[in-house]
């Protein structure tokens, strides 16, 4: 009993200590004396500015330039982005709890529009927006003291706000806690957002913003770091086995919340919603609200390509919310074996396709003569046979035997019926060439098999004979 209370007391002390490291009070931060002055280092995603090692607050000068620039949203899809710093998402800003920030919002003279900025790290009306509406070719200045640590979104708040944000006006500002963050090997900046174009997803050319779609909340693109494929292939994030990775994840919206997930990698630590006082551990998927953030940390155990997605999966696979983290280094077969065997799985007593017969099927109309049989058979061929035997009936050398002028096929109609209905898994010779593949048993109707065989016999200088459903029924290989 005594022992238990002692250990819980130790745990409590540890929590308090951790809490103290992460949460100086707002009053402390307001009173924290500002020593010296420096210019903020700003970076484009996926890069982040270096960690802060100062042990005191300072005055940080931030110059953030708004630029309306044409860029690529997806392959062949151009878009005029409105940006904080020339790219989407905006520049990453990194300061420390207690810092005094002198913020300059510079609106490039080429721009068409006025802009402002709302930093969620600011305590004050509009998060700075009230002080920063800026005409093209002008600059606004305001200051704030960073009272709360955390990872915060910033964005433009000029009307209509959904259009400014929908065109790319958001980024992240990290207010490091006084104790700093634990050191890691890699830090990356990943921000999800949604885009609304007048053309459908994939429609090429310069795409104007769609007011209707943003109001309906129906995005054409949901992407990481401003475009489809921003972090894949040569641009993938990288790490090595044994290294630790920290992702600063934001969601700019304007509308869509992210279910952020790394395929094949559990997050060891997540600071949910960018809140650094209560880390959670062993997380599979973390929610990132629109206008919110999360920090995910993990150690790479094995090599491979790990895919970052919004696990609302259509967004990843149809709208672009997908990135790659490529990890190199030695395998650890204990943690993950890789594929150990690849076996043909044939459910007992039937061909691989038998399961298809479970589905209710509306029987197609029966062919009334040979011409109709050839016509219907062409469809059956296209849907079932063509992938291997090819549209021209020539097959694929060394893999799938030809049907065109095939001695194996033309020589014996009954053998053909048995091959289609029973499958074939043994070496055979066709037109003098050896093949050793697997032909599944096709669970097609007598009618379909008659039609497809008649079609095949009618093509490519084959024998031209007709196969009837009655013959198929008589000779088919019956499933056990």
Partner 1 sequence: MRAAAGVAFALLATAASAAGASGLVPIPAGPYTPFQKVKAAYSAEAAPLAPRVLAAFGLDEEPVTNAEFLAFVTAHPEWRRSAIKTLFADGRYLRRWKADLDFGGAARAGQPVTNVSWFAAEAYCKARGLRLPTTAQWEYALADAGRGQDQVRARSLEWFAVPNGADPGAVGGPANGFGVRDMVGLVWEWTWDFDAFAMTAESRDPNGKDGAAVCGGAAAGVADASDYPAFMRYAMRASLKAPYTADTLGFRCAGGAP
Which residues make up the interface to partner 1 (CB under 8 A)?
68-70, 79-80, 109-114, 116, 125-126, 129-138, 157-163, 167, 198, 206-211, 215
Nearer to partner 1, 109 or 365 (CB): 109
Q: Tell the smallest beta-carbon distance from residue 99 to partner 1 (Å).
A: 23
**Element counts in the chain: helices (H) and strands (E):** 11, 23
Closer by beta carbon to partner 1, 138 or else 433 = 138
CB of 140 to partner 1, least distance (A): 8
Is residue 151 classed exposed, middle or buried when 0-12, 13-18 and 19+ CB atoms within 10 A define those classes? buried
3-class DSSP state for residue 164?
Answer: helix
How many CB atoms are located within 10 Å of the residue 67 CB? 17
Beta pairing, strands 150-155 & 186-195: unpaired
Q: Are residues 283 and 270 in contact, defined by beta-carbon separation less than 8 angstroms?
A: yes
* Cβ-based nearer residue to partner 1, 19 or 205: 205
Q: Could you tell me which of 395, 415, 414, 397 has the C-alpha nearest to residue 405? A: 395
In the complex, least distance from residue 109 CB atom to partner 1, rounded to whole angstroms: 6
Would residue 390 be called left, alpha or beta, if left means φ above 0 and alpha means ψ between -120 and 50 degrees?
left
Least separation in angstroms between CB 220 and partner 1: 14
For the bound state, the minimum distance from the C-beta of residue 285 to partner 1, rounded and expressed in Å, comes to 30
Q: Which is nearer to partner 1, 66 or 323 (CB)?
A: 66
Say whether 127 sits in a helix, a strand or coil: helix
Residue given tokens 């002080």 in the structure block: 131
Q: How far apart are CA 153 and CA 293, in angstroms?
A: 7
Query: Minimum Å distance from CB 210 to partner 1?
Result: 8
Contact 128, 118 (CB under 8 A): yes
Taking the least distance from each CB to partner 1, the nearer of 109 and 427 is 109
433 phi/psi in degrees, rounded to 5? -110, 140
Residue 138 or 281 having the CB closest to partner 1: 138
CA distance 395 to 441: 18
Tell me how far, at minimum, the Cβ of 205 lies from partner 1, in Å.
10
Cβ closest to partner 1, residue 101 vs residue 156: 156
Residue at token pair 């630590």: 269
């Amino acid at each position: 009993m005594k022992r238990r209370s002692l250990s819980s007391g130790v745990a409590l002390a540890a929590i308090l200590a951790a809490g103290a490291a992460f949460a100086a009070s707002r009053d402390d931060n307001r009173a924290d004396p500002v020593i010296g002055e420096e210019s903020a280092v700003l970076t484009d995603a996926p890069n982040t500015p270096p960690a802060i090692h100062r042990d005191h607050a300072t005055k940080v000068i931030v110059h953030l330039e708004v630029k309306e620039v044409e860029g690529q949203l997806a392959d062949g899809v151009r878009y005029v982005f409105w940006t904080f710093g020339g790219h989407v998402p905006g520049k990453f800003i990194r300061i420390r709890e207690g810092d005094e920030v002198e913020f300059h919002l510079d609106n490039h003279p080429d721009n068409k529009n006025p802009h402002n900025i709302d930093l969620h790290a600011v305590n004050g009306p509009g998060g700075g927006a009230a002080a920063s509406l800026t005409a093209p070719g002008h600059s606004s200045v305001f200051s704030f003291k960073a009272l709360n640590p955390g990872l915060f979104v910033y964005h433009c708040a000029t009307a209509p706000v959904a259009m400014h944000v929908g065109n790319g006006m958001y980024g992240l500002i990290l207010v490091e806690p006084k104790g700093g963050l634990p050191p890691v090997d890699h830090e990356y900046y990943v921000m999800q957002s949604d885009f609304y174009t007048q053309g459908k997803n994939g429609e090429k050319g310069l795409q104007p913003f769609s007011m209707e779609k943003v109001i309906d909340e129906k995005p054409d693109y949901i992407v990481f770091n401003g475009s489809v494929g921003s972090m894949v292939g040569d641009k993938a994030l990288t790490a090595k086995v044994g290294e630790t990775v920290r992702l600063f994840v934001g969601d700019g919206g304007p509308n869509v919340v992210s279910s952020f997930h790394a395929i094949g990698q559990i997050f060891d630590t997540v600071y949910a919603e960018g809140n650094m006082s209560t880390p959670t551990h062993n997380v599979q998927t973390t929610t990132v609200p629109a206008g919110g953030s999360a920090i995910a940390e993990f150690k790479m155990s094995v090599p491979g390509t790990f895919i970052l997605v919004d696990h609302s999966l259509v967004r990843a696979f149809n709208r672009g919310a997908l990135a790659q983290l490529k990890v190199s280094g030695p395998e650890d077969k204990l943690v993950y074996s890789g594929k150990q065997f690849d076996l043909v799985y044939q459910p007992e007593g039937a061909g691989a396709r038998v399961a298809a017969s479970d589905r209710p099927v509306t029987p197609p109309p029966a062919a009334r003569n040979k011409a109709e049989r050839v016509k219907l058979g062409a469809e059956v061929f296209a849907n079932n046979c063509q992938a291997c035997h090819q549209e021209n009936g020539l097959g694929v050398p060394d893999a799938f035997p030809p049907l065109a002028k095939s001695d194996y096929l033309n020589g014996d109609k009954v053998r053909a019926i048995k091959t289609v209905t029973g499958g074939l898994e043994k070496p055979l010779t066709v037109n003098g060439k050896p093949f050793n593949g697997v032909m599944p048993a096709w669970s097609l109707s007598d009618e379909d098999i008659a039609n497809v065989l008649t079609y095949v016999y009618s093509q490519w200088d084959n024998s031209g004979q007709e196969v009837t459903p009655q013959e198929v029924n008589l000779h088919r290989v019956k499933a056990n």
